[in-house]
Amino acid sequence: MFDCIAVVGATGAVGSIIRELLEIRQFPHNRIKFIASARSAGRMLPFAGREVVVEALDDHVFDGVDLVVSSTPDEVARDFIPEAVRRGCVVIDESGYWRMDPDVPLVIPEVNPEAVRRHQGIIASPNCSTTQMVQSLKPLHDAARVLRVVVSTYQAVSGAGLPGSRDLDGGTRAALDGEPFRYECFAHPIAFNCIPQIGSPKHLGYTSEEMKMVFETRKILGDDSIQICPTCVRVPVANCHSESILVETERKLTVDEARRLFAATPGLVVLDDLEKKAYPMPIDCTGRDETFIGRVREDISSPNGVAFWCVSDNLRKGAATNAVQIAELLLRGTRSEG
């Protein structure tokens, strides 16, 4: 058991869910700290029937802490995590800063739990759009080796944080009322619109969000030969990312075989009956920790292709849940060592 655990970014959207999951899943500990920016210091947050005061993020706040679960912007993670590790903490990091560091394991517990053992004080949790895709690719890769992936994402505004949610709510009301609205998060109106850019321009016209899906997928699956063509789109949906995925494999997989592989994989739920109009949708998947698969069908344009639809709560499995599951992996490791 970890004596003292800390949640950094405890007042944010993901941090709030981390706090909720630690309480609901009764993660064992003796003491807990909630840490945030100086403007949130002094707030009281409920946890397990008591109130915990929020402490400001500084180097000394990590003294005596064993495990940190952190959800912060990249530049914050860059600055504080090395000091936390020097003070004896193991840090599970939700930011993008450490993900591609060769010394930092990038972990989805249902996919590569063994990678946790290689940590040197930092464990990274993947990007939300990567997590649900790699979860679904893993059983196909194990069975028939994935060669190529074409993926289009339909990403909810919650993935852009609270400002993104405010833009959708306020922009929708303003559009319905015929009033102007000043967007604070997005460069274009998100109400009644789709924005085919998430992140900054990067390699050959792809964005930073799209290249994350390429590099993180290869690192998690341990296969740099996988070819990936991603397009990431912000859509006017409150929560849950959806993805349309086409996978080409070395060995042909039938639709029935693919469905069986999905259904047998922990963390995946198959909801797939087109005649009954049964398939995953964001409105039904929000608040859930699983990743949902539907619309499984043969690729009629290539001999070894399978296409499917994938939906997951980006704040939960795409972020908070995955981090807490990594913490539980570490906990099991400390128990086995003991």
Instruction: Write out pLDDT tens, residues 115-141.
Output: 999 999 999 999 999 999 999 999 999
Tell me if 93 sits within 8 A of 122, measured CB to CB: yes
- The architecture (CATH level 2) of 2-126+319-337 comes to 3-Layer(aba) Sandwich (3.40)
What pTM did the predictor assign?
A: 0.94
- At 231 the three-state DSSP class reads strand
Active site residue 203: no
Supply the pLDDT for residue 1: 84
Interatomic CA distance for residues 52 and 48, integer angstroms:
10
Q: Mapping DSSP to helix (H, G, I), strand (E, B) and coil, where does residue 108 land?
A: coil
Q: In sequence order, which ranges of 37-107 are alpha helices (DSSP H)?
A: 74-86
Domain residue spans of the chain? 2-126+319-337, 130-156+194-314, 162-193
Give the model's confidence band at 333: pLDDT under 50 very low, under 70 low, under 90 confident, else very high.
confident
Two tokens, residue 180: 């102007």
Q: How many helices (H) and strands (E) does the chain have?
A: 8, 13
Assigned superfamily of 130-156+194-314 = Dihydrodipicolinate Reductase; domain 2 (3.30.360.10)
- Clarify whether 128 is annotated catalytic: yes
Please pick, among 29, 119, 141, 241, the residue that the annotation labels catalytic. Answer: 241
Written as one letter, the residue type at 193 is: N
Instruction: Band the pLDDT of 61: cuts 50, 70, 90.
Output: very high
- % of residues, the chain, pLDDT over 70: 99
Q: Among residues 128, 240, 285, 310, which one is catalytic?
A: 128
